[in-house]
């Protein structure tokens, strides 16, 4: 079963959570912990790899490059935040095919207009234009199991482009579903709003944050990047002020397993032995 088929199976089953990753290592940790899927958010990835905000300056090319590295490192499905997937329907078409080629299991595209999450109080993309983008995404995929989740920010009234109207969120959910969305993500919907949306929208419902009744998929994000940056600053400050580091700064008990040290060591040992090369003594 491919990771895309696995993601389809997960979505059709019991509710599940895809946990945050922003790199190959963090994704491998997510898999090692036991999560059935990983989620690569735009905010975390743009912050960690480029130190830029998530307001539309992070390009599809940059995200696809990072997503390919992550997909290669794990065996569980990877869901990626594809933002608007480009400026035009033609961009959407090409980006979807490149996400597929990178090994991603599914993406979500959204109806915000760049520069999003900024000082500009811009509106959402019109329903007709968003439907056109969804149709372009559906037409682009070569693998029918590639999952296209469509995010709607209508309920994201503070910091997003929505007005907060539940009726509009439902209207958009139905329209996006009709255009071919495999799942619908109403950003920041409450439990009551999710119930109202599910009464009209029949595709699976995705949400951010924590598990709540009515959600089929939960994307957990924001904590991995924040904690990694906070700890890095903590130890950098300690090193700057004291000239040394406490032992815990170097502790990573699962490091060998996560980076697959043993298979590589065994491979190199077998090569050295079979070709008569010397081996180092075991590390103390």
- The 3-state secondary structure of 177-198 reads HHHCCCEEEECCCCHHHHHHHH
How confident is the model at residue 55, as a pLDDT? Answer: 87
How confident is the model at residue 284, as a pLDDT? Answer: 62
Q: Which helix (H) or strand (E) holds 78?
A: strand 78-81
- 7 neighbors 79 (Cβ within 8 angstroms): yes
Comparing CA positions, the residue from 109, 148, 199 lying closest to residue 11 is 148
218 is a domain residue: yes
262 is a domain residue: no
How confident is the model at residue 87, as a pLDDT? Answer: 92
36 is a domain residue: yes
234 is a domain residue: no
Provide the token pair at 48: 């960690």
pLDDT (tens place) for every residue of the chain, 284 residues total: 999 999 999 999 999 999 999 999 999 999 999 999 999 999 999 999 999 998 888 999 999 999 999 999 999 999 999 999 999 999 999 999 999 999 999 999 999 998 888 888 889 999 999 999 999 999 999 999 999 999 999 999 888 889 999 999 999 999 999 999 999 999 999 999 999 999 999 999 999 998 999 999 999 999 999 999 999 999 999 999 999 999 999 999 999 999 999 999 999 999 999 999 999 987 76
196 is a domain residue: yes
- 201 neighbors 171 (Cβ within 8 angstroms): no
Domain with residue 27: its CATH number is 3.20.20.60
Comparing CA positions, the residue from 264, 190, 222, 273 lying closest to residue 21 is 222
125 is a domain residue: yes
> From residue 144, how far is each of 2, 122, 161, 166, 212 by CA, in Å?
12, 34, 31, 31, 29
54 is a domain residue: yes
Provide the token pair at 197: 């949306």
How confident is the model at residue 279, as a pLDDT? Answer: 94
- The number of folded domains in the chain is 1
| Domain interval for residue 200 | 3-227
273 is a domain residue: no
The DSSP secondary structure of 207-233, one letter per residue, reads EESS--TT-SEEEE-SHHHHHHHHHHH
């Amino acid at each position: 079963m491919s990771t895309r088929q696995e993601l389809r199976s997960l979505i059709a089953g019991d509710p599940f959570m895809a946990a945050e990753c922003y790199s190959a290592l963090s994704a491998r940790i997510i898999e090692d912990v036991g999560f059935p899927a990983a989620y690569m958010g735009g905010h975390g990835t743009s912050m960690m790899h480029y130190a830029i905000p998530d307001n539309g300056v992070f390009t599809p090319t940059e995200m696809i490059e990072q997503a390919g590295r992550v997909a290669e490192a794990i065996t569980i499905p990877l869901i990626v935040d594809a933002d608007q997937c480009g400026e035009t329907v033609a961009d959407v078409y090409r980006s979807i095919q490149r996400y597929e080629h990178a090994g991603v299991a599914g993406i979500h595209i959204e109806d915000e207009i760049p520069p999003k999450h900024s000082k500009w109080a811009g509106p959402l993309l019109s329903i007709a234009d968003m439907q056109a983008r969804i149709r372009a995404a559906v037409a682009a995929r070569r693998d029918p199991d590639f999952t296209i989740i469509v995010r709607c920010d209508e309920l994201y009234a503070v910091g997003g482009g929505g007005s907060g109207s539940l009726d509009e969120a439902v209207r958009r959910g139905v329209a996006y579903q009709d255009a071919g969305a495999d799942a619908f993500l109403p950003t920041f919907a409450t439990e009551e709003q999710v119930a109202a949306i599910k009464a009209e929208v029949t595709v699976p419902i995705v949400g951010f944050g924590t598990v709540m009744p009515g959600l089929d998929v939960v994307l957990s994000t924001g904590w991995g990047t924040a904690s990694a940056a906070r700890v890095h600053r903590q130890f950098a400050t300690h090193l700057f002020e004291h000239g040394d580091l406490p032992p815990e700064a170097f502790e990573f008990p699962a490091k060998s397993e996560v980076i697959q040290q043993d298979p590589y060591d065994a491979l190199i040992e077998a090569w050295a032995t079979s070709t008569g090369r010397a081996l180092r003594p075991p590390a103390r």
